[in-house]
């Protein structure tokens, strides 16, 4: 990578689904470009079905684009073999979904430590456990370390999910409606924790939300509509110049 390269560069991305049983193909993303710098926060908004989760899944290497490129630190990540993309997801990306997807039989602390057990994870053992305890303390769960998800509130589970996404110090945090299942007060709390922890770590934060008020707290808000990504002024953010 060079100093002028953005951390994440999405370039002319297309995602098309072939139609089933003779129905026409669906183009969900149509020439989407976006670049995100370290420490930057971006909200993605748009109507239901506009392709927000599809875009996040492509950036997160959970799905493959029909055309276009995705670069992290100047390297293609859309072409990685499954084992490489699994390692990338574990070590450089952090995911948070609408439903927390915590392991029900594991405590808050154990859930947070799961990503540290993956091959190539930056740290494990005592140091990781200490980091997990510190982070859970920072999100107000210091007294809930050994509670299982069933013994935690929805907002508390989502705070555990945020800590789990951050435990391996990812460069990019991808959050798909992370507060969508919470009441307004818990949503605001989880959102501010996510923004603060992301900023402190200089991570790029890309968050899908339906909430315009939460989106307004991010550095930029982009809207997906009819397969195109636009900023609030209706301009298309070109890669490398997506300000
Ligand atoms: N595997 C698939 N095969 C065919 N079509 C799909 C597939 N996955 C998603 N789609 C279609 O792609 C479109 C975009 O879906 P996506 O989940 O990205 O929307 P979204 O913007 O996240 O919506 P929401 O706000 O409701 O979560 C939808 O119309 C959906 O039906
Ligand atoms: Mg979605």
Within a domain: 60:
yes
Ligand 1 binding pocket includes 209 (Cβ within 6 Å):
no
Chain-centre distance for alpha carbon 221: 15
Which ligand has its closest atom nearest to the C-alpha of 50? 1
Say how many Å lie between the CA of residue 230 and the centre of ligand 1: 18
Is the CB of residue 106 less than 8 Å from the CB of residue 147? no
Task: Report d(CA 173, CA 204) in Å as an integer.
Answer: 6
Nearest protein Cα to ligand 1, atom 19: 49
Within a domain: 48:
yes
- Quote the number of domains for the chain: 1
Q: Is the pLDDT of residue 243 over 80?
A: no
Task: Report d(CA 171, CA 93) in Å as an integer.
Answer: 6
Q: Which residue has the higher pLDDT, 126 or 186?
A: 186
Ligand 1 binding pocket includes 49 (Cβ within 6 Å):
yes
SS (H, E, C) 119-156: CCCCCCCHHHHHHHHHHHHHCCCCCCCCCCHHHCCHHH
Give the structural domain span for 103: 37-65+74-231
The tokens describing 127, both together, are 């140091």
Mean pLDDT of 108-135: 88
Per-residue pLDDT at 224: 96
* Ligand 1 atom at minimal distance to the Cα of residue 210: 25
Say how many Å lie between the CA of residue 48 and the centre of ligand 2: 7
Within a domain: 18:
no
CATH at 219: 3.40.50.300
Say how many Å lie between the CA of residue 80 and the centre of ligand 2: 24
Q: pLDDT by residue (tens digit) across 24-81?
A: 889 999 999 999 999 999 999 999 999 999 999 999 999 999 999 999 999 999 999 9
Say how many Å lie between the CA of residue 203 and the centre of ligand 2: 22
Within a domain: 17:
no
Which ligand has its closest atom nearest to the C-alpha of 224? 1
Ligand 1 binding pocket includes 179 (Cβ within 6 Å):
no
- DSSP letter at 163? H
Within a domain: 214:
yes
Say how many Å lie between the CA of residue 55 and the centre of ligand 1: 10
Within a domain: 22:
no
- Neighbouring-strand partners of residue 41: 205
Q: Which residue has the higher pLDDT, 22 or 47?
A: 47
Within a domain: 177:
yes
Between strands 26-36 and 8-17, the pairing is antiparallel
The tokens describing 80, both together, are 């990685």
Within a domain: 236:
no
Ligand 1 binding pocket includes 144 (Cβ within 6 Å):
no
Which ligand has its closest atom nearest to the C-alpha of 48? 1
């Amino acid at each position: 990578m060079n100093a002028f390269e953005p951390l994440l560069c999405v370039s002319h991305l297309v995602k098309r689904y072939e139609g089933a049983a003779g129905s026409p193909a669906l183009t969900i993303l149509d020439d989407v470009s976006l670049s995100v710098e370290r420490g930057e926060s971006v909200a993605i908004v748009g109507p239901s079905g506009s392709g927000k989760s599809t875009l996040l899944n492509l950036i997160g290497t959970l799905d493959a684009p029909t055309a276009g490129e995705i670069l992290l630190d100047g390297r293609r990540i859309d072409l990685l073999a499954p084992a490489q993309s699994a390692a990338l997801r574990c070590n450089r990306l952090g995911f948070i979904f609408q439903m927390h997807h915590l392991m029900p039989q594991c405590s808050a602390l154990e859930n947070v430590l799961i990503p540290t057990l993956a091959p190539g994870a930056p740290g494990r053992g005592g140091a990781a456990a200490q980091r997990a305890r510190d982070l859970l303390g920072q999100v107000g769960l210091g007294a809930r370390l050994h509670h299982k998800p069933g013994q935690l509130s929805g907002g508390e589970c989502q705070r555990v999910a945020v800590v789990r996404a951050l435990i391996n110090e990812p460069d990019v945090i991808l959050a798909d409606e992370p507060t969508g299942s919470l009441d307004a007060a818990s949503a605001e709390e989880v959102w501010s924790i996510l923004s603060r922890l992301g900023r402190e770590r200089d991570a790029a934060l890309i968050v899908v939300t339906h909430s315009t008020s939460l989106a307004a707290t991010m550095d930029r808000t982009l809207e997906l509509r009819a397969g195109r990504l636009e900023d609030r002024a209706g301009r298309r953010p070109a890669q490398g110049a997506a300000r």
